[in-house]
């Protein structure tokens, strides 16, 4: 099974024949990474690498995700795709260019996101009753939108109500006033931002394994220098995978105040905090459920790829896209 590897230390990633190793600058020790088993490499430390290293990643379809000094996602080394289908990309782009077709796909993402938010809050009834009512009301307005701008307005209102509910069931020391992406001003905002970044990069990795073009999106406007389709699909999986993970880590006191740090007036996860979140995230991605149509166990990670396959079938006119709505 392919695995993800995370680098927090300062050092160098190097190629040795047909394998990789990380040379820790502080200890001088080497840690070998079996290239055949590597899916993604996440770099949080100050790491050097060269073209020989990148060429090997290209051969084995390994992606490297980079995070800056503050722990914010900055970009991905994305090997030249071997899953190429011009026919799929043309049809994907045609759905973006057609106003009604684009609106349908974008609305589908928001329907799924709202469904999973409501699903989360039902675990904390009756304290969340009023928030659920607000989300249900807004969800009923999604299909009335005729363009992306009002749809994004509804999406923003949905998130506002959803995040307001968090103070009803999370420990008081992690209460927050509002969702602030950058810079995070409190531990909960820092935790949400980090968890969402992990979700974006995981979705991107699964898109890469299909014929979809990650730059052609529907809810988020396509632009240069970002894989905006991963932002679209992540709308489905942030409330399904990231948020319940956050609730568990905080309510079960698996994360403490000491797992955060104040750096230049920014509240960020410390290395210990990131490692705890990453371990829990990896465990969640490996969790399996019995798929109703496939009649077999599939992991949460594989659900992301299945969502990509459903989009491809929709773009090609085979099956109308129905976004994932957790049935378990």
3-class state of residue 215 by DSSP:
coil
The CA distance from 128 to 269, in Å, is 28
Q: Are strands 38-43 and 3-7 parallel, antiparallel or unpaired?
A: parallel
CA distance 6 to 105: 34
| 235 known member of a binding site | yes
Contacts of 1 (CB under 8 A, 6+ apart): 37
Residue 82 tokens read as 């071997």
**What 8-state DSSP symbol labels residue 242?**
I
Show contacts of 268-273: CB within 8 Å, 24+ apart: 268/70, 268/71, 268/184, 268/190, 269/71, 269/190, 269/191, 269/194, 271/8, 271/44
Annotated binding residue 168: no
246: closest CA among 269, 228, 220, 264? Answer: 269
Q: Does 282 appear as a known binding residue?
A: no
Sequence-distant (6+) residues with CB within 8 A of 34 are 19
Report the binding-site residues. 155, 220, 235
Report the binding-site residues for Mn(2+). 155, 220, 235
């Amino acid at each position: 099974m392919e695995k993800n590897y995370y680098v927090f230390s300062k050092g160098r990633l190097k190629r040795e024949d047909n394998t990789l190793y990380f040379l820790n600058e502080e200890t001088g020790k080497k840690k070998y990474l079996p290239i055949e088993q590597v899916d993604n490499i996440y770099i949080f430390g100050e790491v050097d690498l060269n073209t020989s290293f990148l060429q090997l990643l290209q051969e084995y379809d390994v992606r490297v995700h980079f995070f800056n000094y503050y722990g914010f996602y900055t970009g991905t080394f994305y090997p030249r795709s071997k899953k190429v289908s011009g026919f799929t990309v043309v049809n994907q782009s045609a759905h973006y260019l057609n106003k009604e077709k684009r609106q349908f796909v974008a609305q589908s993402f928001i329907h799924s996101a709202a469904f999973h938010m409501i699903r989360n809050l039902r675990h904390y009834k009756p304290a969340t009753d009023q928030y659920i009512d607000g989300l249900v009301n807004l969800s009923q307005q999604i299909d009335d939108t005729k363009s992306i701008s009002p749809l994004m307005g509804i999406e923003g209102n949905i998130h506002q109500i959803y995040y307001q509910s968090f103070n009803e069931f999370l420990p008081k020391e992690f209460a927050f006033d509002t969702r602030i992406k950058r810079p995070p001003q409190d531990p909960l905002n820092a935790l949400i931002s980090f968890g969402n970044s992990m979700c974006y990069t995981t979705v991107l990795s699964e898109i890469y394994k299909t014929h979809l073009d990650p730059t052609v999106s529907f809810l988020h406007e396509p632009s240069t220098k970002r894989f905006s389709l991963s932002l679209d699909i992540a709308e489905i999986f942030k409330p399904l995978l990231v948020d319940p993970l956050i609730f568990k880590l905080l309510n079960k006191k698996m994360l403490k105040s000491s797992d955060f740090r104040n750096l230049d007036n920014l509240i960020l996860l410390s290395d210990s905090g990131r490692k705890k979140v990453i371990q829990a995230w990896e465990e969640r991605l490996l969790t399996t459920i019995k798929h109703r149509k496939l009649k077999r166990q599939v992991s949460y990670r594989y659900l992301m790829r299945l969502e990509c396959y459903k989009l491809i079938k929709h773009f090609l006119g085979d099956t109308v896209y129905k976004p994932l709505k957790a049935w378990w």
